[in-house]
Structure 1
Amino acid sequence: MRIVVKWGGSLQENSKAMADDIAALCRDHQIIVVHGGSRDIDDTIRELGLPRRTLRSPDGMVTRYTDEKTLTALMMAMRGRTQARIVSELGARGVVAVGLSGMDGGLVRTRRKAAVRAVFGDTVRVVRDNLAGRVTEVDTSILDAVHGCGMVPVVCPPGMTAEGQPTNVDADRMACAIAAAWRADRLMLFTDTPGVLADRTDPSSTIGSLSRDEAEELVSRLGGGMRMKVAAAVEALDKGARTVQVCDGRVDAPLAAALRGDGTLIGKGLGSP
Structure 2
Amino acid sequence: MTKPRIVVKWGGSLQNNGTSIADDIAALWREHHITVVHGGSRDIDDTIGELGLPRRTLTAPDGMVTRYTDAPTLTALTMALRGRTQARIVAQLAARGVTAVGLSGMDGGLVRTRRKAAIRAVVGTGVRVVRDNLAGRITGVDTRLLDAIHTAGMVPLVCPPGITAEGEPTNVDADRMACAVAAAWRADRLLLLTDAPGVLADREDPASVIGSLTRDDAEELLPRLGGGMRMKVAAALEALDNGAARVQVCDGRIDEPVSRALAGGGTLIGKELGAP
TM-score range (shorter-chain normalised) is over 0.9
Distance 1:109 1:51 in 2: 28
Query: Residue 216 of structure 1: SS of its match in structure 2?
Result: helix
Please state how far the C-alpha of 1:259 moved relative to its aligned partner: 1.1
Distance 1:260 1:153 in 2: 23
Distance 1:77 1:247 in 2: 25
Query: Residue 230 of structure 1: SS of its match in structure 2?
Result: helix
Distance 1:248 1:104 in 2: 30
Contact 2:209–2:266 under 8 Å retained in 1: yes
Distance 2:153 2:263 in 1: 26
Distance 1:257 1:156 in 2: 24
Please state how far the C-alpha of 1:201 moved relative to its aligned partner: 1.1
Distance 1:86 1:270 in 2: 35
Please state how far the C-alpha of 1:87 moved relative to its aligned partner: 0.5
TM-score, normalised on structure 2?
0.98
Q: Deviations over 1:18-77 (max 9, x none)?
A: 001101111101000000000000000000000000000000100000000000000000
- Pair 1:135-2:106 in alignment: no
Distance 1:58 1:214 in 2: 23
Query: Residue 259 of structure 2: SS of its match in structure 1?
Result: helix
Distance 2:156 2:255 in 1: 23
Counterparts of 1:22-37 in structure 2, within 5 Å, are 22-37=25-40
How many residues of Structure 1 are paired with residues of Structure 2 in the alignment?
A: 272
- Pair 1:118-2:121 in alignment: yes
Query: Alignment partner for residue 15 of structure 1, among 15, 18, 25?
Result: 18
Distance 2:142 2:5 in 1: 16
Q: How high is the sequence identity, in percent, across the aligned residues?
A: 78
Distance 2:48 2:162 in 1: 20
- Pair 1:166-2:161 in alignment: no
- Pair 1:268-2:264 in alignment: no
Equivalent in the alignment of 1:239: 242
Q: Deviations over 1:81-103 (max 9, x none)?
A: 00000010000000000000000
Kindly provide the amino acid, as one letter, of the partner of residue 240 in structure 2: L
TM-score, normalised on structure 1?
0.99
Kindly provide the amino acid, as one letter, of the partner of residue 67 in structure 1: D
Counterparts of 1:215-226 in structure 2, within 5 Å, are 215-226=218-229
Q: Deviations over 1:132-190 (max 9, x none)?
A: 00100100011000111111000000000000000000000000000000000000000
Counterparts of 1:1-273 in structure 2, within 5 Å, are 1-271=4-274
Please state how far the C-alpha of 1:271 moved relative to its aligned partner: 4.8
Please state how far the C-alpha of 1:221 moved relative to its aligned partner: 0.7
Q: Deviations over 1:179-228 (max 9, x none)?
A: 00000000000000000011111101111000011111111111100000
Kindly provide the amino acid, as one letter, of the partner of residue 18 in structure 2: S
Contact 2:268–2:274 under 8 Å retained in 1: no
Contact 2:57–2:66 under 8 Å retained in 1: yes
Query: Residue 111 of structure 1: SS of its match in structure 2?
Result: strand
Distance 2:202 2:196 in 1: 12
Unpaired runs of 5+ residues, structure 2, are none
Distance 1:185 1:212 in 2: 16
Please state how far the C-alpha of 1:107 moved relative to its aligned partner: 0.3
